[in-house]
Amino acid sequence: MADHYILLWDRLALAVRDGRKTTTRRPVATGITENIRHMTGEPGDDDVAPVTFAFIAPRNDDGTCGLEQWCVYMDEYPEEGVLPLGQCPYGKPGDRLLVREATWIWCAKKHNGTTKTGRRKLAYEPVGRHVVYTAEHGKPTEPIDDDPNHCWRYKPARFLPSWAIRTILEVTDVQIAPLQAITVDEAIAEGIEPLPSGHGYFDPTMGRGVVRLGHYFTSAVHAFRKLWDTLNTGPTSNWDSNPWTWVITFKKVEK
């Protein structure tokens, strides 16, 4: 079992904690994508070759088995052999995902040298272990103590210290799939929520206030498309480019 860090946007982190999100998709790295397309062709081509992905130990040239990793082979021409793709950066079944999310942390302001123009730089070091998670609260207004050099400091998800991680997940399944192959049920597992009326869907980034104004989607997949493009804006990772993705399914475990 290995531990891996994963970043989640505020409301998605909350959806995970509430059990409304049990799957996440992440773009496959460019190098792996190029290897997959070497087998399949470009997305949208009329003659895209069907392939199978497997987590196996491919044989080396000398006949010995290599390390277990993700591989791809063509369904129609298995004799062409397998093409190794490498490891999923989010682990394999049984591994743990440590969720990093944005927070406010009670810190002490300390001088940390000077800039090139001579201005003093400040560093912020946690005082104790006082943390507020932005998924559930705005900026705290109540101080922890009366020290004028102490304050609440915003910490983006990627800089969350390990001691402040509150959500741990266990990977239960990993697959590789093109983004646009997502189904309605899979979109809901990504955190897309149905309206109470049952006549539409919204993604957690919209907020219920927006939904009350009538801004929602008639399809769960369309709502997921909006969510995906909110988080993935690159020309090779947006919805229209139909990137290959890691599909990671997980369950919450006790810390």
Which structural domain range is residue 146 located in? 102-160
Instruction: Give the mean model confidence (pLDDT) for residues 31-45.
Output: 75
**For the chain, what is the radius of gyration of the CA atoms?**
22
The verdict on residue 148 lying in a domain is yes
Run of H or E residues at 33: helix 30-40
pTM for this prediction: 0.86
Are the C-beta atoms of residues 110 and 94 closer than 8 Å to each other?
no
Share of residues in the chain with pLDDT > 70 (%): 89
Q: Average model confidence (pLDDT) for the chain?
A: 88
The verdict on residue 145 lying in a domain is yes
**pLDDT tens digits, one per residue of 124-177:** 999 999 999 999 898 999 999 999 999 999 999 999 999 999 999 999 999 999
The verdict on residue 106 lying in a domain is yes
The verdict on residue 117 lying in a domain is yes
> Structural domain tally of the chain?
1
Which residues, 6+ apart, have CB-to-CB distance to 210 below 8 Å? 202
The verdict on residue 233 lying in a domain is no
The verdict on residue 182 lying in a domain is no
